Amino acid sequence: MAERRKHDRAPVRGKARLLARAADGPHASGGGRGRGPDGPRGIAGGRGPYGPGHTGHTGGQAASGTRRGEGGDPNRPTGRRAWGAFLHGLARLVGLPVLSALLLTLAFPPAEISWLAYVALVPLLVAAVGARSGRDAFVGALAGGIVFFGINLYWVQPITTAGYLALLPYMAAYWAVWAAVMRSAGRLHVPLAVAAPAVWVALEWVRGWMLSGLPWLYVGHTQYENLVLIQTADALGAYGPSALCLVTTGFLAVALVRPILVPQGNGAADAESGGASLPQNDNKDAGRAESPARTGRAESDGPSRLAQAVLVNLVVLVVAWVGTVGYGLWRLGQDAQTPGPVVASVQTCVPQELKNLIKMQQVQTEEDFRRMLQEIADAEKTMLDEQVGLTETAMAEARARGLQPDLIVWPETMVPGIVNAAFLTYDPDVLAAYPSLARRQEQSRGYWRRIQATAREAGAPILFGCHSNDLRQDAVGRMEFIANRNAALLVGPDTPLYTSEGAYAKAHLVPFGEYVPFKESWPWLYNLLRSFTPYDYDYSLTPGGHEQEPFVIGFDGRPARFQVAICYEDAMAYRIREMVRPEEEGAVIPARTGRVTRKAVDFLVNISNDGWFSGSYELDQHLNLCVFRAVENRVAIVRSVNTGISAIIQPTGRITQQVVEQDGRRRSITGAIVGQVDLDRRLAPYTTAGDAFAYACLLATAVMFAAAVARRGGPGRKAQRPARPPVGLYGQGAFGRAEGSSERPGAGRNAESSEKEPTP
């Protein structure tokens, strides 16, 4: 009798198993061909990483086949076929992120197709939100980031290959973290048009702060020519335009790409995402999300959920664009500027090889020493001759236009020798015992006298970049330099001999370019890190203070104050803000009487030596980000750059003058420009409040991350993993069995429930 009952139950059990598989969807059965809802090669189903007939325990799992431990999987490919399947899965993993990298590259120089910044990251976002696992999202975005930064930071490689190779994965990691967080954020009730910009801005801020900061290639920098859209920078910083790009990206991912790539009819998936983002592959909810019967919703719920998601993100998009355009038009329409000083900017084209000749010489014999001195003298004379000649050209142009410059600017470190007052005025009788120092002082004094002669002829002070060294005699009578600064000095027609009317020392040094950390604390690490520098010797600069007196010049019978950002400092928004921000209430500085604006300075000067990157698109990138420093603080910026690109940028971000040849070339050329800077009386919110918007995005990112973690592991979540993970935009994990999948096919909740003994 018992044997008969067993025989009677067998067909019932088999029928229950078939019904359970049917409830799981059409891709759960199908004779082992692995066809998902989209057919053999559908985005959501289709062929697995091991090719047709096997799907790596994901959507499209064959109904037949042996279990693990019972002879192995006959469908599992080996050898060449396995490698082909692996490469196919890898291509699907990185394809969309790499597409984003290439599109975003076209938004930066040289192509500068600025509108692409609004759509370029859509493939990356879709790949991240639809990734099979956090690992897949991270790895795919990491690959895309390496491609993007590898192309756009290519100019680092000729200087330091080791530094370039180390920089790429570090920079790309920010893309990877964004993708991983976005995948988690997609499970929350947060519209992608909100989550995407918040997390992206937070990571841009971290990148501009971590390890001294590398705030290069922000997405918002692509909009530097769109004046209306970048005016929000005076309140939000450069993060404002970046956020607008990502708001648009989030909307497009939901409204356009989602309906194309994600199968319709999955109402539960929309429900899980709160109807405000792309549907998620939440492995813990897979069992519930796959059957309309389990969710209590009809499959027709899908379109309505999609419409809700599009509507929510559309509202965010409209608010962002209307607010940005409205604010930009309002700020541009304000009458807040008055004419300021006339400034002449000189652009030299001194190759870095010539400067290195001055610094790095191998001397073994007396003849080598004499040859070295002559070569150095010739190189230094060439550098100074070029600047004097270009100054004469600028003055001729100014007079032809009826202008008289109030200031002349030369690039960073283009004046040879050591021309700061501490060295030039050191007692020559003491230096007589040190022939090399005495000779250097004599040469440097000659350079200083020629600079002042040029200033007298032009009738205007000259601001120039140079090295500033302090000298002292130690206890045993030896002379030593105790400081080596990258400095800017101001010498006018009536400046007392061998002194200056103002000085500034660079405060924010470039890591691995102007200093190497851990020299005193961890010497072994310091020696290792030196391999990432462009020098084969210890080249370390002494930083200046963060609060230095501004320079003062006269124009129209009143004073105008300005400060200098040297080289990379104009990339650091906080540093420029420090220069412009008003002094504390009650502070009285005589030099600042008769002020034109409420700010600590009336305009800024940026001097730089981009000869390291001559001919590359680093020069364009550097100019583009400088535009945002002008808008953020409502100050004009005059740029004087060796090899380019020298320009005058007004407080609105408009570039009114730049050195350019008739054929349009701006890089690696010589020239000079003369123009008037505008003085803006407005005190920008960003100058006083700083990165408040970025901090808010950091907080929002932290909250989203914490909520995602709590949702993943909080109470009420089932400990048992589902039998078959849900199908995502990739179809399945790119490296085989997806994260969270069962070890054997058909071992999930459905199969277990169907195999129970029927109630008699």
In three-state secondary structure terms, 566 is: strand
Name the more confident of 328 and 533. Answer: 328
Name the more confident of 377 and 101. Answer: 101
Structural contact between residues 276 and 309, judged by C-beta atoms closer than 8 angstroms: yes
What is the average per-residue pLDDT within 457-481?
Answer: 88
CATH 3.40.50.2000 fits 337-359+368-508+543-681, yes or no: no
95 CB contacts (<8 Å, ≥6 apart)? 127
How many other CB atoms sit within 10 Å of the CB of residue 114? 19
Residue 720 has pLDDT above 70, yes or no: no
Structural contact between residues 467 and 457, judged by C-beta atoms closer than 8 angstroms: no
Separation in Å, CA 597 to CA 31, 577, 578, 602, 684: 78, 15, 16, 6, 12
For residue range 228-245, what is the model confidence (pLDDT) as tens digits? 999 999 999 999 999 999
- Closest by Cα among 105, 148, 127, 133 to 249: 127
Query: Which range has the top average pLDDT, 572-586, 601-615, 730-744?
Result: 601-615
What is the average per-residue pLDDT within 649-668?
Answer: 88
**Portion of the chain with pLDDT greater than 90, in percent:** 48
Confidence band of 55 (pLDDT split at 50, 70, 90): very low
Pull the structure tokens for residue 438.
């005495």
Structural contact between residues 138 and 95, judged by C-beta atoms closer than 8 angstroms: no
pLDDT score for 149:
97
Residue 138 has pLDDT above 90, yes or no: yes
What is the average per-residue pLDDT within 354-381?
Answer: 68
Instruction: Flag whether the pTM goes above 0.75.
Output: yes
What is the average per-residue pLDDT within 502-514?
Answer: 86
Give the domain ranges of the chain.
13-67+744-760, 80-334+693-713, 337-359+368-508+543-681, 509-542
- Closest by Cα among 434, 449, 435 to 491: 449
For residue range 162-219, what is the model confidence (pLDDT) as tens digits? 889 999 999 999 999 999 998 887 677 789 999 999 999 999 999 999 988 899 999 9
Q: Which helix (H) or strand (E) holds 107?
A: helix 80-107
Name the more confident of 262 and 389. Answer: 389
What is the average per-residue pLDDT within 149-169?
Answer: 92
Structural contact between residues 604 and 373, judged by C-beta atoms closer than 8 angstroms: no
**Portion of the chain with pLDDT greater than 70, in percent:** 70
Strand 407-409 relative to strand 337-347, pairing: parallel
pLDDT score for 447:
95
Residue 432 has pLDDT above 80, yes or no: yes
446 CB contacts (<8 Å, ≥6 apart)? none
Name the more confident of 757 and 390. Answer: 390
For residue range 659-691, what is the model confidence (pLDDT) as tens digits? 987 677 888 899 999 999 999 999 999 999 999
What is the average per-residue pLDDT within 47-75?
Answer: 43
pLDDT score for 361:
52
pLDDT score for 754:
41
Name the more confident of 333 and 722. Answer: 333
Please list the residues that pair with 564 across neighbouring strands.
605
Pull the structure tokens for residue 37.
């809802």
756 CB contacts (<8 Å, ≥6 apart)? none
For residue range 433-468, what is the model confidence (pLDDT) as tens digits? 888 889 999 999 999 999 999 999 999 999 999 999
Confidence band of 724 (pLDDT split at 50, 70, 90): very low
For residue range 297-325, what is the model confidence (pLDDT) as tens digits? 444 455 677 788 889 999 999 999 999 99
What is the average per-residue pLDDT within 603-618?
Answer: 91
pLDDT score for 526:
66
Confidence band of 394 (pLDDT split at 50, 70, 90): very high
For residue range 274-299, what is the model confidence (pLDDT) as tens digits? 334 444 444 444 444 444 433 344 44
DSSP string, 459-489: TS-EEEEEEEEEEEE-TTS-EEEEEEEEEEE
DSSP string, 136-199: HHHHHHHHHHHHHHHHHTGGGTTT-HHHHHHHHHHHHHHHHHHHHHHHHHTTSS--HHHHHHHH
pLDDT score for 535:
62
pLDDT score for 73:
56
Pull the structure tokens for residue 417.
């020798």
Please list the residues that pair with 513 across neighbouring strands.
none
